[in-house]
Structure 1
Amino acid sequence: MAEAILGDHDQYSCWICLDLLNDPVTIPCGHSYCTSCINECWNTKDKKGTYTCPQCRQAFNSKPQLNKNTILGEIMEKLRSTKLQVSDAAQSLAGPGEIACDFCAGEVFKAVKSCLECRASYCEMHVHPHYNVPALKKHKLVKATVMPICPKHDKLLEVYCRTDQNCVCMHCLMDDHKGRDTVPSTIERNDKQMKLTDTQTEVKQTIQAKEKELQKMKMDITSHSDSAKDAVKDSKRVFTDLVKLIEKRSNEVIEKIKAQEKADLDHGAKLQQNLEGEITELKKREGVLETLLQTYDNVHFLQNYESVSSSSGSNGFPSCSFKPSCSYTDVNKLVCELKDRLETVFNQEINETFKICLQRTIQFALRLETQSK
């Protein structure tokens, strides 16, 4: 029941304070108000001896009797007891740096809309008259923002002076900015927004190119690391075929390969880190551009345009690639050639050794044969 009432809670709000009715009373014309609100209204505003309904403007020659609306009072109590008021369910208190409602008393809620005609900001509850009151419906509501006011004329900044590159009010056009190149701020915003959108597109394209470059670099580094591992494996296989005499040299070669791999990978990691940093910076810049493009505040947009509109595409971030100091394929080839040379040398030495052994065997046999004769 309470939720159904809340769905149409405007009829249970006081026309004077715009809050839920507190101790509601009904006057002869049928409209209801908070007891304190209607008493204060009639005590402070009626100077001609007449009393007028703030809502329908019906006048009474004498102060009408205030009839307590018991049923409406009970409904208000149920709404408060179940904590279904709009102020609790749909609003939040204004925090530091947030736009506050100009009409809240006591607890000040965060504003959701600003009226360019009233030059005021409203929370969810206090903005309702701008949706319901015919005269207020014509006002222009925007997302809650700080009113851009001319410090000299106390008027809204609605015009952009291209000569001075700043925002001015309509009175400034007749004063300091008379005869200068001026346009409505919305037109200048659209022009600069198109340029800023092009800059954003360029940044996005640069990010995509850098991400592709990073992916290629990762593949090159992985391939290089795999090549180093293969070289180590092949070297181990080659040197394990050699005699223990060259095991020390085998370990030295392996350690050199690993050391060179580490140096190359450290260098590649540094390049990769730099490239990731560039991408991070570009994404930060894209976020700044996106935030500025989404702002409803023309003044804030125009004042920050120059600082973010300079191009920072690929020209600002030169391309780089991973180039190892050596190729492990060449290392593997040299190791295989060394193995072949060593095998040749070993074979020659073994053959020479067998030849000498054979000659000595023959000489020894001849000597024995001579001695036997």
Structure 2
Amino acid sequence: MAAANYLPSEDQFLCSVCLDVFTDPVSTPCGHNFCKKCINDYWNTNDQNTCPMCKKVFTSRPELLVNTLVSEMVSHVRQSAQQKASSSSSEQQESKPGEVPCDVCTGTRLKALKSCLVCLASYCETHLEPHLTASRLKRHQLIEPVENLEGRMCTKHDKPLELFCQTDQACVCMLCTVLDHITHKFVPLKEECEGKKVELEKTEAEIQEMIQKRRLKIQEVKHIVELSEEDADREKAEGVQVFTDLKESVERKLNELINTIEEKQRATKKQAEDSIKELEQEISELMKRSTEVEKLSLSEDHLHLLQSFQSLDIHLPPPTKDWTKVRVPPASYEGTVRRAVSQLEETLSGKMKKLVEVELKTVQKFAVEVTLDPDTAHYRESINRKGDITPSPQKGYWTIGLTNGDEYEANDDPEVVLSLKPGSQKVGVFVDYEEGLVSFYDVEAAALIYSFTGCCFKEKLFPYLSPEPNYGGTNSAPLIITPVRVN
């Protein structure tokens, strides 16, 4: 019973001539078995009647009879294999769209488990069995199921693409190395893939770094928006406090003030939102590229990796903006309330002074140090600093000065005579580059002297000091630069 239940594998019933399972097996006098047709064809093409296995020579062609025992065993093996295939097929999954189907299945095509680079075919679990059991098929190269196996053959020599030409950066077959690329340098596909995977890992790290930088930039922009909103809220509160004491005559000014501030904030917020949207879009593109790179780097399909590596332009990152120099400046509200209140100067002089005091405290936070250098008295940037100079904003000068010994004027276009008492000792200068604002303050009186508005700055700004000649001692007092005292 034990012998009856034992069924050897197909590998034990392979003809040594055709390397397939016996068909009409016959035995030679030396005891070896062959397909009847195979041994007769073998003898018909040779001068002597020899055994293909042991090379024993027979003086005359032996009479060959079918070995019934071997034939029955082969029949049982085939029947068992068919039953196993039928049972396995019912358990396997039918191939779905996007999956590689078995090339051997008829009717319902099952999902392929492996593809053979020698047979150029894909097999389900059942039809893959011979490649796992038959000794002649075990030498074939199996890979994960792929479509278009013909694309893995050299179109010129019809041989498998097994090597990588580092000279031409192309996949080649063995014949290519001795014919078309004889002087070139070659490596196995696996070795080249390992090198490319290192590059992919480096690229992936660079992309992740780019993503991180953009995420940090988003946080920076959001923080600027938060600070800008705080400034806007504070400025609106101050404006409401100033104009609350007024009646209907100043109601219109109050609304104009609030609308101006909110418009600036909306512009700042929109600019920030546009930047964030663009950053998030770049992150999305980078993450998409990261997914492609990661998927490709995990591929065990050497040929697919190399071919995709060439078409992916992996050395070229997706087009992105250099965000290191991009800045979303917070909206500046400096002087907004003051400019509105100045139109009601006669009735609001007390309020104006209080407001200027607040502004002075605010601008003091932006104090910068000034270092004098003899070279700065000569040509610098795009303006002339020597000779007879008539300062004006059009020439790059925003200045105020004392004329005729007792009258102050702003060197605007046209010049503006200032109602400033002679003898002012301390003058503060505040510049808002983004807002295009240059303001001069009488620090001791906590009063605004003059503001240049609507300025357009395109270069760096530098202090401009002109003490004028001594005039026989009448102008002998020095100009002194004093540090800002933060209250």
TM range (shorter): 0.5 to 0.7
The change in CA–CA distance for 1:89 and 1:341 in structure 2 (over 3 A counts) is: farther
d(CA) in 2 for partners of 1:155, 1:63? 38
How many Å separate the matches in 2 of 1:162 and 1:206? 30
Instruction: Choose the corresponding residue for 2:68, options 44, 55, 60.
Output: 60
Which of 173, 181, 196 is the aligned partner of 2:185? 181
Question: What secondary structure does 2:297 align onto?
Answer: helix
Instruction: Give the deviation of 1:158 after TM superposition.
Output: 0.5
Normalised TM-score (structure 2):
0.51
CA gap 1:266/1:64 in 2 versus in 1, 3 angstroms: closer
Conserved 8 A contact 1:161-1:183: yes
Correspondent of 2:159 among 141, 152, 155: 155
2:268 aligns with one of 264, 279, 288:
264
**% identical aligned pairs:** 30
Deviation at 1:333, TM superposition (A): 7.0
- Cα distance, 1:127–1:94 mapped onto 2, change above 3 Å: farther
Q: Is residue 93–residue 108 contact of structure 1 (8 Å, CA) maintained in 2?
A: yes
Aligned to 1:3: none
Could you tell me which residue of structure 1 aligns to residue 142 of structure 2? 141
Report the residue type matching 1:322 in the other structure: V
Shift of 1:202: 0.9
- Please say if 1:46 is aligned against 2:24: yes
| Farther off after superposition, 130-139 or 331-340 | 331-340
Summarize deviations over 1:135-183 as a string: whole Å, max 9, x none.
5455443211243111222221011112222111112222222222222
Q: Which amino acid in 2 is paired with 1:218? A: K
CA contact 1:115–1:121 (8 Å) conserved in 2: yes
Task: Give the match for residue 313 of structure 2.
Answer: 308
**CA apart distance, 1:264:** 1.9
CA–CA distance in structure 1, aligned partners of residues 113 and 70 of structure 2: 41
User: Matches of residues 116-265 of structure 1 in structure 2 within 5 Å?
Assistant: 116-133=117-134, 136-146=137-147, 147=149, 148-265=152-269
Report the secondary structure of 1:125's partner residue: helix
Deviation at 1:224, TM superposition (A): 1.3
Higher RCO, 1 vs 2 (CA within 8 Å, ≥6 residues apart):
1
Stretches (4+) displaced over 6 A: 47-52, 65-68, 333-341
In the alignment, structure 1 segments of 5+ residues that lack a partner are: 1-27, 33-43, 53-57, 348-373
Change over 3 Å in CA distance of 1:88–1:221 after alignment to 2: farther
Match among 275, 278, 283 for residue 274 of structure 1: 278
Say if 1:142 and 1:94 are closer, same or farther in 2 by CA, change over 3 A. same
Contact 1:51-1:63 at 8 Å conserved across structures? no
Distance 1:144 1:67 in 2: 32
**Distance in 1 of aligned mates of 2:74 and 2:318:** 72
Q: Which amino acid aligns with 1:195?
A: E
Farther-moved stretch of structure 1 (119-128 vs 133-142): 133-142
Structure 2 Cα separation of the partners of residues 202 and 279 of structure 1? 13
Q: 1:62 to 1:136 in 2, by over 3 A?
A: closer
Aligned residue type for 2:261: I
Gaps of 5+ in 2: 9-21, 28-32, 36-65, 353-487
Which amino acid counterpart does residue 328 of structure 2 have in structure 1? F
Question: Over residues 122-145 of structure 1, what are the superposed CA-to-partner deviations in whole Å (9 max), with x where a residue is unaligned?
Answer: 223333444455554554432112
Check whether the contact 2:25–2:71 (CA below 8 A) recurs between aligned residues. no
Residues 101, 122 of structure 2: 8 Å contact kept: yes
Which 10-residue stretch deviates more, 130-139 or 176-185?
A: 130-139
- Partner in structure 2 of residue 8 of structure 1: none
2:92 and 2:111 in contact (8 A); partners too: no
CA contact (8 A) 1:199 1:311 kept: no
Q: Which of 266, 288, 293 in structure 2 is aligned with 1:289? A: 293
Per-residue Cα deviation, 1:5-39 (whole angstroms, up to 9, x for no partner): xxxxxxxxxxxxxxxxxxxxxxx88659xxxxxxx
Select the structure that is richer in helix: 1
Instruction: Supply the distance in 1 between the matched residues of 2:188 and 2:143 (Cα, whole angstroms).
Output: 17
How many residues align? The count is: 291
Could you give the per-residue CA deviations for residues 219-264 of structure 1, whole angstroms, max 9, x where no partner exists?
Answer: 2113212322332233223322323321111111111111222222
Q: Secondary structure at the match of 2:115?
A: strand
Contact 2:282–2:320, Cα closer than 8 Å, also in 1: no
Root-mean-square deviation (CA), in Å? 4.0
